[in-house]
Amino acid sequence: MSTSQKHRNFVAEPMGEKPVTDLAGVGEVLGKRLITAGYDKAYIVLGQFLVLKRNQELFQEWMKDTCQANSKQSADCYQCLHDWCEEFL
- Count of the separate structural domains present in the chain: 1
Q: Which amino acid is at 70?
A: N
Domain extent, residue 49, equals 5-88
User: Domain with 54 in it: what CATH number?
Assistant: 1.10.150.40
pTM above 0.75, yes or no: yes
Q: What is the pLDDT of residue 38?
A: 98
Count of helices and strands (H, E) across the chain? 5, 0
Closest CA to 31 of 68, 86, 71, 78: 68
Q: What is the pLDDT of residue 8?
A: 95
pLDDT (tens digit, 0 to 9) for every residue of the chain, 89 residues total?
578 999 999 999 999 999 999 999 999 999 999 999 999 999 999 999 999 999 999 999 999 999 999 999 999 999 999 999 999 99
Cβ atoms of residues 18 and 41 within 8 Å: yes
